[in-house]
Chains A and B, each alone.
Chain A
Amino acid sequence: MAGIAKRYGAVAANVEASLEVGRGEIHAICGENGAGKSTLMKILSGGARPDAGTVVVNGRDVTGWGTAEAIAAGVGMVHQHFQLVPTLTVAENLVLGREPTARGRLVLAPALAEIAALCERTGLVIDPVRRVGDLTVGEAQRVEILKALFRGARTLILDEPTAVLSPPEVTDLWRVLRRLRDDGGTIVLITHKLDEVLAAASRVTVMRAGRTVGRLATAGATPADIARAMVGRDVALAARDAGADALATAPPRLVVRDLAVADAAGRRVVDGVSLTVRPGEIVGIAGVEGNGQTELVEAIAGLARVRGGQVTFDGADVTAWPVARRTAAGLAHIPEDRHARGLVLDWSVADNLVLGQQHRFTRAGRLDVRGIAAHAAAQVAAFDIRPGDTSLPARALSGGNQQKVVVARELGGGRDVRVLLAAQPTRGVDVGAIEAIHARLRAARDAGAAVLLVSADLGELLALSTRVLVMYAGRLVHEVEGRVATPEGLGPHMTGAAA
């Protein structure tokens, strides 16, 4: 791909972007959010047409092709948001769009045999008659990869494939990708995680602001080299900083005792969790997603109904308090799903920045429009939210900047934050923004907040946490000091293997 340009309205997603990938190579594409990686991959996989530039695959000029042609030529995309139908079985998902039929009737038997052979060959083991909605995220990703291969893909594009996986699943994924490469397949990997680039890829293309700004071999490169190329300056990568233990003797600020939360079906997804967080402490919760972390955070935030147990802030029992009262008591919450819980996407950045705190910007029931604008301008400057136009809808911002809006609202503007719940605070966020968000979490901690951090990113947990707790099947099964925790030590507890 050379000289690629693509505009969406006023936004130039790609300018002079280029990419060169050899056959039988695992190639990584790095860049901050909004750097144009996904757009470039959309163009390669036929999902978008470039305004300028050329795309050549296997020596053939295929500029401006569509998805169907790309699939026919063996270029398949594994989307970050799985393109699967949850109510259909694995096999039905794989054949969708090219169903084998006899006079309109579905005939799945030959496809099932073909799928079994494909599973065998690639090591992507999955039962083809299971419903996709019943699969774990890791299994669903296997289906997504199988789908591309089933359609004859020889070149696989994976967009942030590890964002949702546990450490053992990540190891599995690398094994499968290497096997595909050894069979002559070509793999293009979009990722934010620099250690993954070094672990999996042989070469890396770095993008910034829509342009390709570097291409380097991973042999001999360090994470700092790549980060510098991505951001254009030196970046402090998540270094361990467990904070001072000056406050270790202070009484706990957040106490959770025997907390139980049930889901709609009545199963106990949080089952007797007790924990304490002191002021000036970050307590990290590790675990494979879906083990009750979400419900635990929502129960503390006042969003989920509690079955049993107690939550106290500074000794006050808040278990029955509504959200607004908890907020007034100094609770800040960075929710894990910024689209569903964190932002009103169609509202302006300025309005989102006062969401939940609107009473501070109201006079006699009337919104203080000027105050909101001034507040927004100050927060945008303080948190480096880009673009700085606060009248834009939140939808128009990149994921990293959307997340900065949430963090700015929860932590900025002189709020006295006593308890901070940070759930997946840097999910899908680029290195520059990660650096900024981590700094804010540390600042909140240093200002005396009790911080509960839930993250699927072990690196982040280990970098920030004073203590790390492991959650498995709704219970806390392991606790370790942050400074001595390792991924290898936590892994078995996360999968229940150590129990």
Chain B
Amino acid sequence: MSDLLFQWLRIAAPYLCAAAGGVLSERAGIIALTLEGYLLAGAFGAALGALATDGPWLGVAAGIGAATAVAALHAAATLRFRADQVVTGVALNLLVDGATTFVLRRVYDSSANSPRVEGFGSGGDLGSPVGWLALLALPALWWLLARTRFGLRVRAVGEAPEAATTAGISVARVRWLAVLGSGALAGLGGAFLALDQHKFSTGMTAGRGFIALAAVIFGRWDPLRTAGACLLFAAAETLQIRLQGTAAIPSQFTEMIPYALTIVALATLAGRAAAPAALGKAES
């Protein structure tokens, strides 16, 4: 039984981290379409970092660093140069996918997999200490948004940037910090993924960033509801894996469960009424 529980939480961990990044970015008004890229960059950075230094924690740091660097590109493009958030997000996801494959081939002469990463070894039931951090990410973000000055400012700039400006707040500064934080959080999720699977393989995030984004929307941009949504999606995936053994249903169908659930969850949610009002709009 606890086996099942920990399998579920290990699947949930990357979602929880990426979704925390998504909530932070979107509450500040920046569409979190790049979560997929942050996750992948985080996984890649973690694998390379851990292989190069033989230290899993340095791998985690490298993963966070890599994802934050991608976030900095996103922030520079959308905030400094006012590029469209959706176009930039899609482009960065493609860029990360291509760049990780390219570097993987250059460094390890493989187009698919890195060498085995030792990671945290046994690491306990969650696979690694990073898993516990992942479980704390959204509650911590809730506290940040509700109880701190920075959180109040994030909520203000995502909802009414002009009002925030008249109140003397630098909208660009708050958004920069939110996007960088978003990259760091999602990067942590990517690092967990690579260390948990003891390798980096190309495209290993397999749409997890988009499912995390769906969890943010399904969670109505509220950190705690979003955590619930992540756990729900992770439960569907756990179920899918458990069903694979049973021959009754073709695996092609069981593999669809998490994605189908995502679509159903989003379609049954009425509109985007809870979205931050300034989401996706460049500051005028």
Contact = CB atoms under 8 A, between A and B. Distances in A.
B166 A104 contact: no
Contact of B164 (A79, A86, A95, A97): A97
A106 B155 contact: no
Contacts of B270: 264
A87 interface: yes
Contacts of B168: 67-68, 71, 97-98
B86 interface: no
Centre residue among B151, B152, B167, B169 by max chain A CB count within 10 A: B167
Contacts of A105: 147-149
B277 interface: yes
Centre residue among A67, A83, A86 by max chain B CB count within 10 A: A83
A87 B29 CA distance: 14
Given A88-B152, A99-B149, 16 more contacts: A67-B166, A84-B160, A84-B163, A85-B155, A87-B155, A87-B159, A87-B276, A88-B159, A93-B163, A96-B153, A96-B163, A96-B164, A97-B169, A99-B153, A105-B149, A264-B270
A68 B159 CA distance: 21
Contact of A97 (B151, B167, B276): B167
B283 to A, nearest CB: 14
Contacts of A249: none
A96 B150 contact: no
B162 interface: yes
Interface in A74-106: 77, 79, 82-88, 92-93, 95-99, 101, 104-106
Interface of A: 67-68, 71, 77, 79, 82-88, 92-93, 95-99, 101, 104-106, 264
Nearest to A66: B168
B143 to A, nearest CB: 9
A95 B155 CA distance: 13
Contacts of B147: 105-106
A106 B148 contact: yes
Contacts of B163: 82-85, 93, 96
A24 to B, nearest CB: 26
B156 interface: yes
B156 A101 contact: no
Contacts of B156: 85, 88, 96
A36 B159 CA distance: 30
Contact of A83 (B150, B166, B271, B277): B166
A77 B160 CA distance: 17
A97 B156 CA distance: 10
A88 B169 CA distance: 15
B152 A96 contact: yes
A312 B214 CA distance: 45
Nearest to B273: A264
B160 A83 contact: yes
A92 B166 contact: no
Contacts of A92: 152
Nearest to B150: A104
Interface in B166-199: 166-169
27 contacts: A67-B168, A68-B168, A71-B168, A77-B166, A82-B163, A83-B166, A85-B159, A85-B163, A86-B160, A88-B155, A88-B156, A92-B152, A95-B152, A96-B152, A96-B153, A96-B156, A96-B164, A96-B169, A97-B169, A98-B168, A101-B148, A101-B149, A104-B148, A104-B149, A106-B148, A264-B270, A264-B271
B155 to A, nearest CB: 6
B3 to A, nearest CB: 40
A-B complex: 6 closest residue pairs judged by Cβ atoms: A97-B167, A97-B168, A83-B163, A83-B166, A85-B160, A96-B167
A126 B167 CA distance: 20
A79 B149 CA distance: 24
B151 to A, nearest CB: 8
B157 to A, nearest CB: 9
Contacts of B164: 85, 96-97
Contacts of B277: 86-87
Contact of B162 (A83, A86, A93): A83
A79 B148 CA distance: 27
Contacts of B169: 96-97
Centre residue among B153, B168, B270 by max chain A CB count within 10 A: B168
A71 B167 CA distance: 10
Contact of B167 (A82, A83, A87, A104): A83
Contacts of B153: 96, 99
Interface string B124-164: 00000000000000000000000111111101100110111
Contacts of B166: 67, 77, 79, 83
Interface in B233-284: 270-271, 273, 276-277
Nearest to B27: A87
Nearest to B274: A87
A105 B145 CA distance: 10
B142 to A, nearest CB: 14
Centre residue among B153, B156, B166, B271 by max chain A CB count within 10 A: B166
A267 to B, nearest CB: 15
Contacts of A77: 166
Contacts of A104: 148-150
Contacts of A86: 159-160, 277
Contacts of A84: 160, 163
A79 B276 CA distance: 22
Contacts of A93: 163
Nearest to A104: B148
Nearest to B170: A97
A84 B156 CA distance: 9
A99 B151 CA distance: 11
Nearest to B161: A85
A284 B276 CA distance: 37
Contacts of A264: 270-271, 273
Contacts of A85: 155-156, 159-160, 163-164
Contacts of A97: 164, 167-169
B281 to A, nearest CB: 15
A172 B160 CA distance: 28
Centre residue among A79, A84, A87, A97 by max chain B CB count within 10 A: A97
Contacts of B148: 101, 104-106
A106 B169 CA distance: 16
A158 to B, nearest CB: 15
A264 B167 CA distance: 32
A400 B169 CA distance: 33
B148 to A, nearest CB: 5
A86 B163 CA distance: 10
A328 B149 CA distance: 56
Given A79-B166, A85-B155, A96-B167, A106 B160 contact: no
